[in-house]
Amino acid sequence: VEFRFIPETESLVYSFTQRELDVIQPPPAPDTIERLRGLESAGAEVQVKPGPVWEHLNFQFGENNRNPESLNEYAAFRQAIAYAINPIELAALVGWQPVTSMLRPEVEVEGPWAQYGQDLDKARGLLAQACAEAGRDCQSDPPRLIFSTTSNADARPRIAEQLQSDLGEIGIDVELQLEDSQIFFGETFDDGNWDVGWWAWVSSPGAAGSVTALQVVDPDAPPPAGSNYYRWGTPGSSVADDAVDRFRDILAILRETVDPDELTALTSAAEQILAENVVLLPIGARSVVGAVWADKLHGYEMNSSRAGHTWNIEFWRRIDL
């Protein structure tokens, strides 16, 4: 087996088209995938699967929220946003695979966020409910949302523009404040100085991986000791309700139990709490792409997890020799 490291996507794909390479794992750009699929009639096989990196929209509940008019504390407001956007179209916009679970995004199963889907009438009704709860006349004074994420690559700015358009349809004035990744994942991230944000987490397999995923929203673990950068339910949070208490209790049991059935039931219940309260909103898993000249090599089966593409290399075999 000979491994070649080709950093430029164009060179990598060109070498594959010339059959200088038998297997490649290119970046998941939609135009790259389309170009590779154009080779299928010549004997290539292209596999596209969701990977372990999942992108999500999220809310800041801490005291340092940069938007003094934020309505994040109202569940109806967060639910309105969940119904205002089309997660499938949003993921497809940048070539991601839509996901409805934060526990195993690389496994194509229906998760608790599947209850949402674009329904503008329902979104407008929920927004009106949130405005009433806040004692605000949102007809004359539309709610303002500040959206922050990284500006370095193309995908997230495109997502930001689409969100601005979708949320504008239900009467939310979205201001985009995109930042260089060093700033966003530096002082902004550490200080909780955003309103509505966007970034990615990386999932891990198995029950332990599910518990680890849920712990990023642990009410008792704000940064720097923990990973609850959202500050949901943490000291000083704008949200402290029964949902936070139930989630905290479930996490406490998860850290102690080793019973597989109990782990499955509890992780599912904890994720359901996060989905019903729209603490965050998983949108898409970054695609993982594998291309092989199937008329030359048999046995290749792409693995989109951290195991990598060579996970079963002992079963690969050449058929042209």
Q: How far apart are CA 278 and CA 228, in angstroms?
A: 15
Q: What gap in Å lies between CA 290 and CA 23, rounded to an integer? A: 7
Q: Is 42 exposed, middle or buried (0-12, 13-18, 19+ CB in 10 A)?
A: exposed
Q: Record the pTM.
A: 0.88
pLDDT at res. 188:
94
pLDDT at 108: 67
- Among candidate residues 198, 196, 208, 226, the one with its CA nearest the CA of residue 103: 208
55 in Cβ contact with 283 (< 8 Å): yes
Q: In this structure, what is the dihedral angle of CA atoms 128, 131, 136, 142, given to the nearest 10 degrees? A: -70
Please say whether the beta carbons of 210 and 267 come within 8 A: yes
Two tokens at 65?
A: 């929220």
Closest-CA residue to 153 (of 308, 241, 280, 28) = 28
Count of other CB atoms within 10 angstroms of residue 139: 9
pLDDT by 10s per residue, the chain, length 321: 899 999 999 999 999 999 999 999 998 888 899 999 999 999 999 999 888 899 999 999 999 999 999 999 999 999 999 999 999 999 988 888 899 999 877 666 789 999 999 999 999 999 999 999 999 999 899 999 999 999 998 899 999 999 999 999 999 999 999 999 999 999 999 999 999 999 999 988 888 889 999 999 999 999 998 999 999 999 999 999 999 999 999 999 999 998 999 999 999 999 999 999 999 999 999 989 999 999 999 999 988 877 788 999 999 999 877
Specify the pLDDT at position 259.
92
